[in-house]
Amino acid sequence: MSNIIITGCSSGIGFATAVMLAKNKNVVFATMRHPLQHTELQDIADNKNLPIIILPLDVTDDNSIKNAISQILFYTDKIDVLVNNAGIGTLGSVEELSIEDFIEQMDTNFIGTVRCTKAVLPHMRHKKSGCIINISSVGGRLFNYFNAPYSASKAAVEAFSECLAMEVLPFGIRVAVVEPGVIDTPLQDKCKSQIKETGYPNLQRCVAFFSAARDHHIPPDVVAETILKIVNGESTRFRNPTGPDSLPFLSFRASMSDEDWIAGADIDEETWIAMMEGMHLDVRKYLTRF
């Protein structure tokens, strides 16, 4: 049994992971910005008698993190695992997205991961044990148009995690990265709902891609299962591509040069549609002009 902190548990991957890890006899400190606005996880914990303790934590606020860690160390004298999951996203062109969009995503997805990691490291280093699991994305290794803030933040998570893994290894602390493909979570709706008018017609391809990929209905439980395997020591890999489309996407990108990958942004629509169909994505029905 491990004591596990998870950020971003109000929905999606964090929610599913909290339930799955608790069902497997771990004590879960499930954190989110506004617990009073999201009571479903507490209801499940109560109804199923799961060891889930819900706490407020905003990964963009140092004091919020400090207070949450203090409360957790009141409950227990050992933090075994930190799952840095909290994340946000939006779609759009570099030109049309605001600087605030970039700052907000970097602050939440990357700096939030750094803040929470720094908060638990002194404890883990003193105990000479621990595991830090950072939820990245296929988008942190495969960079696609109209996804610059999110991909940049997840690429930063990838680099940060690899550096961190080498630093903490002598202290018995393990670092692992989880790289989901397209998962059916509320994040997908939030990304698309923010798109307004655009001068970049190919933005429709990005939206169509994510919509078609989401049609495969890959549940967040798939990611939770990967996290459980890492916690249980069943997976000892540093990078853990997760979901049926993650490795195919990464292999597709690795199969071509940087120049060919970039040039693919300018192919004609029918060729692009055929390429997506080759990846079992029915994008045609989603191609509507903005």
Give the pLDDT confidence score for residue 41 in this predicted structure: 96
Q: What is the pLDDT of residues 40-75, one digit of tens each?
A: 999 999 999 999 999 999 999 999 999 999 999 999
Domain 3-188+217-254's class? alpha beta
CB 173 within 8 Å of CB 179: no
The whole-number pLDDT of residue 169 equals 98
Which whole number is the average pLDDT over 114-132? 97
Domain ranges of the chain: 3-188+217-254
Residue % of the chain over a pLDDT of 90? 79
280 — pLDDT class (breaks 50, 70, 90): confident
pLDDT of residue 55: 97
Q: How far apart are CA 270 and CA 274, in angstroms?
A: 6
Alpha carbon 187 to its chain's center:
10
Average pLDDT over all residues of the chain: 93
User: Which one is catalytic: 136, 153, 211, 246?
Assistant: 136
> Quick one: which of 285, 275, 239, 24 has its CA closest to 138?
239
User: Is 23 a catalytic site residue?
Assistant: no
Paired strand residues for 133: 83, 176
Catalytic residue among 137, 150, 151, 246: 150
Indicate which residue of 10, 151, 161, 211 is catalytic. Answer: 10
Does 190 qualify as catalytic in the annotation?
no
pLDDT tens-digit profile of 237-259? 999 999 998 999 999 999 999 99
Phi, psi of 44 (to 5 degrees): -65, -45
Annotation says 25 is catalytic: no
What is d(CA 88, CA 126) in angstroms, rounded to the nearest whole number? 32
Nearest of 228, 225, 240, 209 to residue 141 by alpha carbon: 240
Catalytic residue among 137, 153, 154, 161: 154
Catalytic, 161? Answer no
